[in-house]
Amino acid sequence: MTRHMSFMLTKEQVRNRTKTVTRRNGWWNLKQGEFVYMYEKCQGLKKGEKSVLIGQMQVINTRPERLDAITPEECAKEGFPGMTPIEFVAMFCKTHKGVKPETFINRIEFEYTNNPKNC
């Protein structure tokens, strides 16, 4: 079963393939080698709205990591090359309810695939 993941905050980075890592407060059962469809938005769709598929990824690696352990290189892999780690952590905490800098999150490294749905 292929899963669906939302990239609402980074849809442009996914479209232009500058994002190769995503941090999630969850997705702990995701396994290396698993395929995931990448959508603009998966939940909270208003009546009449449809999910927009923007790509497919294959998981290379996952690991728990403190959010505040992010480096400038990792900010770039997240699709934010001009953002400092402090700025990234502040943005992540603001957009993810209940997350604090010391929260352990799931760091997911992935590669893009040739999508069978012709994204």
Segment 63-114, tens digit of pLDDT: 999 999 999 999 999 999 999 999 999 999 999 999 999 999 999 999 999 7
Give me the CATH topology for the region 3-112. Answer: Sulfate adenylyltransferase (3.10.400)
pLDDT over threshold 90, residue 38 = yes
Query: What's the pTM value of the predicted model, to 2 decimals?
Result: 0.89
Cβ atoms of residues 5 and 42 within 8 Å: yes
Task: Report pLDDT for 118.
Answer: 45
Domain boundaries defined on the chain: 3-112
Query: Confidence class of residue 116 from pLDDT cuts 50, 70 and 90?
Result: low
Other beta carbons within 10 Å of 94: 9
